[in-house]
Amino acid sequence: MTHDNKRYVERDRNWHPPAYAPGYKTSVARSPQQALVSMQMPTASELTGPDFTHLRMGLHDNDLLLNFTHGEGLPQGERIMLFGRVMDQFGKPVPHTLVEMWQANAGGRYRHKNDKYLAPLDPHFGGVGRCLTDDQGFYRFRTIKPGPYPWPNDMNSWRPAHIHVSVTGPSISTRLITQMYFEGDPLIPLCPIVHTLKDPLAVETMMGRLDMAHSRPMDCLAYRFDVVVRGELQTFFENQ
Amino acid sequence: MNQPNSQPASELMLRETASQTAGPYAHIGLALAAAGIPTRDEEIWNEMAKPDAQGEHIDVVGTVIDGNGDLVRDAFVEAWQADANGDYQPDYDLSKPFNNFGRTVTTFDHGSEWSLKTVKPGGVAHPGGKMMAPHINLSVFARGINIHLQTRLYFEDETEANRECPVLSRIESDNRRQTLIAKREESEGIVRYRFDIRLQGQGETVFFDF
């Protein structure tokens, strides 16, 4: 299998957050000080990646309203659908790719042994989902809108409501973990993690947008979040 | 010369969705057992090679260390490697003896080490024509890491191949090259390679852009 005529559009590392972003205090001791070593000639190791078409999913893996109920009841909070399309920078849909997500409950509490926030756990909510995109690159989840929560950064830092979204894409070069925020949340412009991005347009790429057309009357609202992964290029000429 | 209505080619492309840190609770989404929550029937985890996988069976272990020399106990690491023959088979299927992809984490348990059960990868050809030394691609995500860090693990007993590897050769500093070489240990018949990832400062691991 040769990958020699395939490339991905270079990552714009001024668009992405820098490693060192002192307003986000944990990054200070976890950011490399040396320059990244650029691979001008990516190899099969970088141009390939896992395909999860044969990972067996459970019936409710993408339905957070039902995947932690133990058959006893529904979680508390705003019922929402979260859906969108994964595509590359040329607008090409990315079908059958793994999308994973995790989040806090309606009160901003994570079901993780290290989260000691005083807001209670919801006995019917786990906060984990996964699915594959369909033939057109669409993914969908049903969940509860997460609550904001405090964290020890500045004297009084609060994360905006957010859902962590992880996308594989066709190669380890396209691999991306991001966070989706809810448009209009006044905590967004105050957040040191959002502030790691220099360009306000880059922040816009992380907004989930209210989508009334796809909301279900008397049932749940919908938020749309499209994810763009690096564009795949074919090189026009071989070497020599 | 810009014509009226002309756009630079870069503006005809969509912008990549911006990266954000995986945060302190990535394990609940990507490593459920480590977060102490119930697992699903099939999880993507760290047993890349089952006992019947072809090749030399090895454990790969390590820590992640921050700029203060302290252990990072909430890292999430992904591995991508060729099989024993140097091939990449993308299809992830837990019924196969070997998968090229794996995931592992550091927590407060197990000495805050991550670990992978795998086989030693074969060499992979570089597009320039030479062979690359056997290596495992690793991506590191964690709280405080705004965009994941990409590195490669090489094996200390592949001296000759490492010397010839066109990717390792791209690293000018010999001291920095050494940060990518995993150390071989053997105990009770198990071959183990140790690879500590230093995020910052003294002995900082080489991270790649590709």
pLDDT, tens digit (0-9, with 9 covering 90-100), for B90-140: 999 999 999 999 999 999 999 999 999 999 999 999 998 999 999 999 999
Consecutive H or E run containing A28: helix A26-29
Largest CA distance in chain B: 73
Confidence band for B3, pLDDT divided at 50, 70 and 90 = low
Average pLDDT over residues A55-76: 94
Average pLDDT over residues A61-88: 95
Res B2 pLDDT > 90: no
Mark whether A159 is an active-site residue.
Answer: yes
DSSP code of B176? H
Asked which of A17-31, A57-71, A137-151, B135-149 is least confident by mean pLDDT, the reply is A57-71
Question: What pLDDT, in 10s, does the model give residues A173-223?
Answer: 999 999 999 999 999 999 999 999 999 999 999 999 999 999 999 999 999
Tokens 């691999």 sit on residue: A175
Mark whether A20 is an active-site residue.
Answer: no
Q: Which residues of B touch A12 (CB under 8 A)?
A: 15-16
Q: Which residues of A touch B88 (CB under 8 A)?
A: 1, 44-45, 48
Q: Which residues of A217-230 are buried (b: 16+ CB within 10 A; e: fewer)?
A: eeebbbbbbbbbbb
Confidence band for A68, pLDDT divided at 50, 70 and 90 = very high
Question: What pLDDT, in 10s, does the model give residues B132-185?
Answer: 999 999 999 999 999 999 999 999 999 999 999 999 999 999 999 999 999 999
pLDDT at residue A60, as a whole number:
97
> What is the phi-psi region of residue A130: left when phi exceeds 0, alpha when psi lies from -120 to 50, beta otherwise?
beta
Upper half-sphere CA count for residue A47 (Cβ side, 13 Å): 23
The single residue of A16, A20, A60, A110 carrying the catalytic annotation is A110
Q: Which of residues 178-207 of B touch A (CB under 8 A)?
A: 199-201, 204-207
Distance from B157 to chain A by nearest Cα, in Å?
A: 21
> Considering the entire predicted model, what is its pTM?
0.96
Res B4 pLDDT > 60: no
pLDDT at residue B8, as a whole number:
73
CB contact under 8 A, A89 and B124: no
Tokens 């909510």 sit on residue: A125
What's CA A63's distance to the chain center, in Å?
16
- B129 touching chain A per CB within 8 A: no
Average pLDDT over residues A146-167: 98
The single residue of A7, A85, A109, A159 carrying the catalytic annotation is A159
Query: Cβ–Cβ contacts within 10 Å for residue B141, how many?
Result: 23
- With CA atoms as reference, report the closest residue to A163 among A104, A226, A85, A228: A104
Query: Cβ–Cβ contacts within 10 Å for residue A193, how many?
Result: 25
Mark whether A142 is an active-site residue.
Answer: no
CB–CB of A120/A40 below 8 Å?
no
pLDDT at residue A79, as a whole number:
98
Distance separating alpha carbons of residues A14 and A142, to the nearest angstrom: 34
- With CA atoms as reference, report the closest residue to A149 among A136, A138, A162: A162
Res A2 pLDDT > 70: no
Tokens 């089952």 sit on residue: B50
Q: Which of residues 69-128 of B touch A (CB under 8 A)?
A: 70, 72, 74, 78, 80-82, 87-88, 90-94, 99-101, 124-128
Q: Which residues of B196-210 are buried (b: 16+ CB within 10 A; e: fewer)?
A: bbbbbeeebbbbbeb
Q: Which residues of B touch A56 (CB under 8 A)?
A: 41-42, 94
- DSSP line for B185-199: EEETTEEEEE--EE-
Average pLDDT over residues A96-118: 96
pLDDT at residue A235, as a whole number:
73
Q: Which residues of A touch B80 (CB under 8 A)?
A: 45, 48-50, 172
Average pLDDT, chain B: 95
Strands B190-194 and B57-62: parallel
More confident residue, A11 or B9: A11
Facing residue for A177 by CB, picked from B22, B100, B125: B22
pLDDT at residue A3, as a whole number:
60
Look up residue A42 and give its two tokens: 């990516």
pLDDT at residue B176, as a whole number:
98
- With CA atoms as reference, report the closest residue to B185 among B47, B58, B48, B50: B58
Look up residue B83 and give its two tokens: 């099989």
Distance separating alpha carbons of residues B165 and B170, to the nearest angstrom: 9
Nearest CA in chain B to A126: B37
